């Protein structure tokens, strides 16, 4: 099941082919234990994403919406004003990797957790409908740009071309990206009551509408009183790019808890826009990646136009 990387060695991460996806070597043990041991609660929400597609934002929005009873979003003492979103919502497979399952047990319901694993690698009780899953995806061209900037924080001489080629041939963490997206898209088509699909670009277009969808999907729609009090807007504002990037905690050079502990917190807040690919790729590169993705997603109603 676990194979060595046959071709290009991705220059930052050791990758292993595991059940059809290239996983960083250090994800594999936690993935296996997660697959074997995770027992979902019916109101659990797994936030899933391909890396650099809006994980941090989704974690913040879901946390703010789910915890709004205990932590009013407009409140000065809100946890998201003093903690990075990755410190509010744990990476679930990382928890299993480090043997800290008690931390999961201690989370208040609805428990929020996240993963970069594709749907097909989630534990059988999850894919069997035992809890809810929210997936955020993004135009792969912008994902490549974001990934390159992120990886460069660890390896300053990494070239954009190398990152681009790795994405195009699938040998990148959790890749191939199109298979990752497809795994969740198929799940959402089969079980719309259990899998919510959100695009980063739609979040940019109308974050409020998506916060409402998110809250409803998690079983806690905003009440008329909350709507009248402006709570949806307060969640959006609390989690907005400028607000989050401006927080002292997110300017810190020190890392977050868990998987990204080696990365500075400000690495999660770069530009926060759609279309930055045009500043990094030639038209030929863009057409090539678009072509691959279009072909792979053929037959679905999914596109990134």
**C-alpha pair distances (Å), 90 with each of 48, 122, 258:** 12, 16, 7
- Those residues with Cβ within 8 angstroms of residue 252's Cβ, 6 or more apart along the chain or in another chain: 264, 265, 266
| Catalytic-role residue among 78, 86, 116, 180 | 116
Residue of 163, 184, 146 whose CA lies nearest to 21: 184
User: Do 88 and 80 form a contact (C-beta atoms < 8 A)?
Assistant: yes
Give 32 or 74: the residue with its C-beta nearer to ligand A3P.
74
- In the complex, the smallest distance separating the C-beta of residue 55 from ligand A3P, rounded to whole angstroms, is 3
Q: What torsion do the CA atoms of 5, 265, 64, 303 make, to the nearest 10 degrees?
A: -40
- In the complex, the smallest distance separating the C-beta of residue 198 from ligand A3P, rounded to whole angstroms, is 12
- Those residues with Cβ within 8 angstroms of residue 5's Cβ, 6 or more apart along the chain or in another chain: 14, 15, 16, 17, 22, 171
Give 56 or 171: the residue with its C-beta nearer to ligand A3P.
56
* Residue position matching structure tokens 């220059």: 11
Active site residue 116: yes
Binding site for ligand A3P (CB under 6 A): 49, 51-57, 142, 146, 149, 239-241, 244, 268-272, 276
Give 149 or 188: the residue with its C-beta nearer to ligand A3P.
149
- Those residues with Cβ within 8 angstroms of residue 53's Cβ, 6 or more apart along the chain or in another chain: 136, 137, 138, 143, 146, 200
- In the complex, the smallest distance separating the C-beta of residue 206 from ligand A3P, rounded to whole angstroms, is 13
Give 68 or 149: the residue with its C-beta nearer to ligand A3P.
149
Give 37 or 82: the residue with its C-beta nearer to ligand A3P.
82
- In the complex, the smallest distance separating the C-beta of residue 41 from ligand A3P, rounded to whole angstroms, is 25
Catalytic positions are: 116
């Amino acid at each position: 099941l676990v194979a060595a990387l046959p071709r290009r060695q991705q220059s930052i991460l050791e990758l292993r082919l595991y059940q059809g996806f290239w996983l960083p070597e250090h994800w594999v043990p936690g993935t296996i234990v997660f697959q074997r041991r995770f027992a979902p609660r019916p109101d659990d929400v797994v936030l899933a994403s391909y890396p650099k597609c809006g994980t941090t934002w989704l974690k913040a929005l879901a946390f703010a919406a789910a915890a709004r009873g205990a932590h009013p979003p407009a409140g000065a003492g809100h946890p998201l004003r003093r903690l990075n979103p990755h410190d509010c919502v744990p990476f679930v497979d990382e928890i299993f990797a480090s043997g800290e399952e008690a931390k999961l047990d201690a989370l208040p319901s609805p428990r929020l957790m996240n993963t970069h694993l594709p749907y097909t690698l989630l534990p059988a009780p999850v894919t069997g409908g035992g809890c809810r899953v929210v997936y955020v995806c993004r135009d792969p061209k912008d994902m490549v740009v974001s990934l390159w900037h992120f990886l460069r924080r660890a390896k300053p001489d990494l070239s954009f071309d190398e990152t681009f080629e790795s994405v195009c041939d699938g040998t990148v963490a959790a890749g191939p990206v199109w298979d990752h997206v497809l795994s969740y898209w198929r799940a959402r088509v089969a079980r719309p009551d259990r899998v919510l699909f959100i695009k980063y670009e739609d979040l940019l277009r109308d974050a409020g509408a998506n916060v409402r969808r998110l809250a409803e999907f998690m079983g806690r729609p905003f009440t008329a009183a909350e709507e009248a009090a402006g709570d949806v807007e307060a969640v959006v504002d609390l989690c907005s790019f400028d607000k989050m990037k401006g927080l002292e905690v997110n300017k810190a050079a020190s890392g977050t808890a868990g998987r990204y502990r080696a990365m500075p917190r400000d690495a999660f807040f770069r530009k926060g826009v759609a279309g930055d690919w045009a500043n990094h790729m030639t038209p030929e590169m863009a057409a090539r990646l678009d072509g691959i993705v279009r072909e792979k997603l053929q037959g679905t109603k999914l596109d990134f136009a």
